[in-house]
Amino acid sequence: MSDTAVQTKEVTPQVSGAPVAADALQTRLDAMHLPAGGFTSAARADALTRLRDMGLPGPRDEYWRFTNPRDFNAPAPAPISVPEKMQDSPLFQDLDRLKLIFVDGEFDAVASDSLGLEGIQIETLAQADEVADHWAKGIYGSLEAAGQKPVNRPFAALNTVSARDGMLIRVTGKPSKPVHIVHRRASEDADVTWHHVIRAEEGAELTLLETGMVGARSNGMIEADLARGAKLNYIGARQAVHQKLELSHIFARVESEAQLKAFVLSVNGTLMRHETVVDIVGDDALAHVAGAVLGDGNDGPFHHDDTIFITHGGLRCESRQVYKKVLKNGAEGVFQGKILVKPGAQKTDGYQISQALLLDERSQFLAKPELEIYADDVVCSHGSTTGAIDETALFYLRSRGVPKERAIVFLVLSFLADALEEIEDEDLRGQISDRLEAWLTRHENQ
């Protein structure tokens, strides 16, 4: 019987799976130039051990069932031409900000602003890693290592092993303007890894923006350590030609009364996986993570995966996960989100919503919401929906004379509104909203 035959065939590689995976990992590592590191050397060695234990993921792994890691496992990405000009102008360019430029993952001091700004210390990983000791030593690779339990995140370990550059940002006060990391592309086959470390000291506040074009393949990471009462607002909006392969990880450790707010906008991309791992370790802290995704399969295959893990370990903490995906022409979206409430984390308020708006019948959304609760006095809720454009609302707009395609743009923006609301700053929110609208308008008639 053919079913049995298929099953047997599938089982075979699993039996001999380990050596094959180890070979694949070695090939992947051989394709990279691994830095020895200065203050990071021990962390890099630990990460390499972790990585060898875990191996590269396969489609059978619990958290890779919806997203095939093949292209992330490959030794090198397929080259992608570097466009002379993007369709959209760069984001936030009129904003008063401290601009840090990365070209194919390496800091470009000439193109960047001076690193001096009151209330904040900024260095590059590449330079700082020439010495043996540094304030970032206790953070680099350690939040990532902590975030490997209970779910393996091999590409995060790979990042810690291989990252050559990134920003090391220590916030001691309330800098007068946001720090804006801008990525640029130079070569067609760039396989880019960067690793930022942020330490926000007690009561410090930072808005961090990260935008621009990343390489053919990228693996970016932020490790953010928020001390008591610190506040970090992060807005990520990577821009690219469609074919990019993008991995990103945010690992955050949130102490008492600290606040993390992260929003990521994703448009375009063949294969994207964004993992956000937040460990709330103190009381009265807050973590809001949100994402808005626009995918059009007519630009090429589109697959976007948000994998979120929030751990509540303190009293009276609040977390929100708000993820919205708009998918058309065969685009695929994935959401895997978990809230873990540890024993004793009473009065936890945890909320999770993942929603997809499918603009046709060929697109697909897969969601895996999870709650795991070991405290008895908490409020946790999760919801996941997949739907089409609301016909009544569409008719309402059209009956006022708004053309159909324009009305759909309005309704898509309406659908995304909850996620955008997580951006605190009205001006920044407006710029993201304009960007969404521009993309939607370009894709109106496809």
Partner 1 sequence: MLKINNLHVKLEEEDKQILKGLSLEVPAGQVHAIMGPNGSGKSTLSYVLSGRDGYEVTEGEATLDGNDLLDLEPEERAAAGLFLAFQYPVEIPGVGNMTFLRTAVNAQRKARGLAEMSSAEFLKAIRAKAAELQIDAEMLKRPVNVGFSGGEKKRNEILQMAMLEPRMCIMDETDSGLDVDAMRLVADGVNALRSPDRSFLVITHYQRLLNHIQPDVVHIMSNGRIVKSGGPELALQVEEEGYGDLLAEAG
Q: Map residues 166-205 to x or -, x wherever contact with partner 1 holds by CB under 8 A.
A: ----------------------------------------
The count of C-alpha atoms lying within 13 angstroms of the C-alpha of 256, restricted to the half-sphere facing its C-beta, is 2
> Which H/E stretch holds residue 274?
strand 271-280
Which CB atom, from 375 or from 394, has the smaller least distance to partner 1?
Answer: 394
Q: Is 410 in the site for partner 1 (CB under 8 A)?
A: yes
From the CB of 396, what's the least distance to partner 1, in Å? 4
Using CB under 8 A as the binding rule, whether residue 404 contacts partner 1 is answered as yes
Between 317 and 420, CB nearer to partner 1: 420
Order of strands, sheet of 245-254, starting from the edge strand that comes earlier in the sequence: 120-124, 167-171, 191-200, 217-226, 245-254, 271-280, 303-312, 332-341, 364-373
Q: Tell me if 401 contacts partner 1 by CB under 8 A.
A: yes
C-alpha distance across the termini of the chain, in Å: 43
Q: How many residues of this chain bind partner 1 (CB under 8 A)?
A: 25
CA–CA gap between residue 64 and residue 383 (Å, rounded): 21
80 binds partner 1 (CB under 8 A): no
Interacting stretch for partner 1, rule CB under 8 A, among 22-30, 243-251, 374-382, 401-409?
Answer: 401-409
Q: How far is the CB of 398 from partner 1 (least distance, A)?
A: 4
Q: Does the protein bind partner 1 through residue 406 (CB under 8 A)?
A: yes
**What distances in angstroms separate CA 310 from CA 13, 317, 319, 370, 403, one per listed residue?**
34, 11, 8, 10, 42
Task: Work out how close the CB of 434 gets to partner 1 at its nearest, in angstroms, rounded to a whole number.
Answer: 12
CB 444 within 8 A of CB 405: yes
Q: Which is nearer to partner 1, 64 or 439 (CB)?
A: 439
Q: Is 411 in the site for partner 1 (CB under 8 A)?
A: yes
Of 283 and 437, nearer to partner 1 (C-beta) is: 437
Q: Which is nearer to partner 1, 342 or 406 (CB)?
A: 406
413 part of the interface to partner 1, by CB under 8 A = yes
Output the CA torsion 70→76→82→86 (10° steps).
30
Among 316, 402, 425, 438, binds partner 1 (CB under 8 A): 402
Among residues 329, 384, 386, 414, which is the contact residue for partner 1, using CB under 8 A? 414
Q: Scanning residues 258 to 277, which ones bind partner 1 (CB under 8 A)?
A: none
Pairing of strands 349-358, 379-387: parallel
CA 362/CA 49 separation, integer angstroms:
42
Which tokens go with 323?
């993820």
- Could you list the beta-strand ranges (E) of 299-343: 303-312, 318-328, 332-341
Residue 362 or 404: the one with the smaller Cβ distance to partner 1 is 404
Among 415, 423, 431, 443, binds partner 1 (CB under 8 A): 415
Q: Is 403 in the site for partner 1 (CB under 8 A)?
A: yes
Q: Are 213 and 237 in contact (CB under 8 A)?
A: no
Residue 156 or residue 419: which is nearer to partner 1 going by CB?
Answer: 419
Helical pair 17-30 and 154-162, crossing angle rounded to 10 deg: 30
Binding to partner 1 by residue 417, rule CB under 8 A? yes
Of the pair 125, 412, the CB lying nearest partner 1 is at 412
Collapsing DSSP to helix, strand or coil, 301 comes out as coil
Check binding of 420 to partner 1 (CB under 8 A). Answer: yes
Nearer to partner 1, 114 or 399 (CB): 399
Contacts of 119 (CB under 8 A, 6+ apart): 171, 172, 173, 174, 175, 176, 204
Residues 310-369 that bind partner 1 (CB under 8 A): none
Query: What is the DSSP annotation of 40-109?
Result: THHHHHHHHHHHHHH-S--TTSGGGSSS--HHHHSSSPPP----SS-SSPPTTTTS--EEEEEETTEE-T
Q: Which segment (5-13, 36-44, 195-203, 400-408) binds partner 1 by CB under 8 A?
A: 400-408
d(CA 141, CA 138): 8
Contacts with partner 1, 359-398, as mask; x by CB under 8 A? -------------------------------xxxx-xxxx
Residues 407, 402: Cα–Cα separation, whole Å = 6
The residues pairing with 101 across neighbouring beta strands, listed in sequence order, are 182
135 belongs to the binding site for partner 1 (CB under 8 A)? no
- Provide the binding-site residues for partner 1, judged by CB under 8 A: 390-393, 395-404, 406-407, 410-411, 413-418, 420
